[in-house]
Amino acid sequence: MEPSILATYDRPVPRYTSYPTAAQFESSVGPQQHAEWLGDLRSGEAALYLHVPFCRQLCWYCACHTMAMRREGTLDSYAAALERELTLLAGIAPDFMVGSMQWGGGTPTQLGAARLRAVGRLVDSLFDRRCGAEISMEVDPRYCDEATVDAMADLGVTRVSFGVQDFDGAVQRAINRMQSFETTLATLERVRRAGMRKINLDLVYGLPSQTLDTLARTLDLALALTPDRFAVFGYAHVPWMKPHQKLIPSETLPDAATRAAMAALVSERLVDGGYVRVGLDHYARPGDNLAHAVANQRLQRNFQGYVADDSLWVVGIGASAISCLPGGFSQNVSDPAEYMATMERGGFATVRGIAVGTEDRLRGDIISQLMCQYAADVDATCRKYGVEAAAFLAGIGGLGPLVRDGLASIDGGCLTVTERGRPLVRSVCAAFDRYYTGVEGRHARGI
């Protein structure tokens, strides 16, 4: 990537797992609005996301809503709070159909086998599940014993996401996450023996002390595990949002040019290893349904990343969980103690969100097409929302520089992200983001 492009586009930019992004959520959306939006799903289908904001220990690189927690009483209370929120959902949308289900975090297995079973069985008793619906769960391979694996199998988990990040010892020390290849392999084999054979692997580039050589070795080891999918994210250094990241000195992080080279290395190694590139940061085996979704132009992006779900909507359960509903986005309070106290009082814990109108849906549709397909049919999308395409495009002032820099091209009403522009697709999307300001301190950098 040329120095001039690096200088121009190495700026804060959203990841566009939603539009409008969470940075635009407002406190005007609360429990009553959330309940009304859930009512629109009364007889519909949505993905169900269960958030568990606890880990055995806190990794310094992490930007998720999580904390270190081992107290049994707190874990009991949190599982009970999840059950209360699920019961509230069932009361509002009794015919709600679960199209897919994901346990995320944090580390969901930190709840322990008995609590996982209790919450999972409650879901099955309250809601119907679409035939063949995928159930996925994130795990920390260092803390996933036989009892936990047995509970996951009992709950019908079909896909397991393994957090790895990096296998190099120096990098692991720098992020406070020591995890050997052997430990990861042993847990992976334990999961596969239990019948859960769809495996995802999560890696991160741009970490402290990471180099192109150490990243190449991590990729070789990761490929040896033969997962079905990879998710490889650029490290988001946001210490103003996550104070524990201050434990990572900024001078130990790779610069923008090295990060760009790392992203290129990841793509080269994984594609050469037989994986199909899926959007910006995912890779899948050709037979995986994520790869099929790319080929059939059915790929979607939400707060869980790229997904092959047919469901347009997501119902989030748990502290900090975000719901994507027909009326807009709504988010629960992030602090687990406040979430549990609210659930104990008997109401929803929604504290912010945003209603989504026609203009935002139009812009969000185009952004989604760009993130998922690297192209957007602006003409057809504008017709869908009753908007005149030429006038709409004329108002997108940021497109000109992107075209001049060779990152995007326009042919009639079709916008395409060029091969050169694909690593910077988020910057192309930002041209359509009417809220985007580019100010420091709101988002991770674009490279």
306 Cα distance to chain centroid: 7
What is the reported pLDDT for 441?
Answer: 60
Which residues form the domain of 369?
358-430
* Cα–Cα distance, 267 to 201 (Å, whole number): 15
What is the reported pLDDT for 442?
Answer: 64
What is the reported pLDDT for 284?
Answer: 98
pTM for the complete prediction? 0.93
Here the tokens at position 352 are 């912010």
In this structure, the answer to whether residues 317 and 417 fall within a common structural domain is no
> Domain holding 101: CATH number?
3.20.20.70
Q: Would residue 141 count as lying in a domain?
A: yes
> Domain holding 385: CATH number?
1.10.10.920
In this structure, the answer to whether residues 351 and 363 fall within a common structural domain is no
In this structure, the answer to whether residues 242 and 230 fall within a common structural domain is yes
What is the reported pLDDT for 151?
Answer: 97
In this structure, the answer to whether residues 176 and 256 fall within a common structural domain is yes
In this structure, the answer to whether residues 147 and 235 fall within a common structural domain is yes
Pick from 325, 340, 355: which residue ends a domain? 355
Q: Would residue 441 count as lying in a domain?
A: no
* Cα–Cα distance, 136 to 199 (Å, whole number): 9
DSSP state string for 72-117: HHHHHHHHHHHHHHHHHHHHH-TT-EEEEEEEEES-GGGG-HHHHH
Tally of domains within the chain: 2
In this structure, the answer to whether residues 368 and 273 fall within a common structural domain is no
Q: Would residue 190 count as lying in a domain?
A: yes
Q: Would residue 248 count as lying in a domain?
A: yes
In this structure, the answer to whether residues 368 and 328 fall within a common structural domain is no
pLDDT tens, residue order, the chain (447 aa): 788 888 888 888 999 999 999 999 999 999 999 999 999 887 689 999 999 999 989 898 888 888 888 889 999 999 999 999 999 999 999 888 999 999 999 999 999 999 999 999 999 999 999 888 999 999 999 999 999 999 999 999 999 999 999 999 999 999 999 999 999 999 999 999 999 999 999 999 999 999 999 999 999 999 999 999 999 999 988 888 888 888 999 999 999 899 999 999 999 999 999 999 999 999 999 999 999 999 999 999 998 889 997 788 999 999 999 999 999 999 999 999 999 999 999 999 999 999 999 999 999 999 999 999 999 999 999 999 999 999 999 999 899 999 999 999 999 889 999 999 999 999 999 999 999 987 766 677 777
**Longest Cα–Cα distance in the chain:** 61
* Cα–Cα distance, 436 to 396 (Å, whole number): 12
Burial class of 26 by CB neighbour count within 10 A (0 to 12, 13 to 18, 19+): exposed
In this structure, the answer to whether residues 197 and 108 fall within a common structural domain is yes
Its sign, for the CA torsion 73, 74, 78, 81, is: positive
Name 198's bridge partners.
Answer: 159
What is the reported pLDDT for 7?
Answer: 83
In this structure, the answer to whether residues 115 and 243 fall within a common structural domain is yes
User: Is the separation of the CB atoms in 72 and 127 below 8 Å?
Assistant: no
Crossing angle for the helix pair 72-92 and 113-126, to the nearest 10 degrees: 10
In this structure, the answer to whether residues 350 and 383 fall within a common structural domain is no
Compute the chain's Rg from CA coordinates: 21
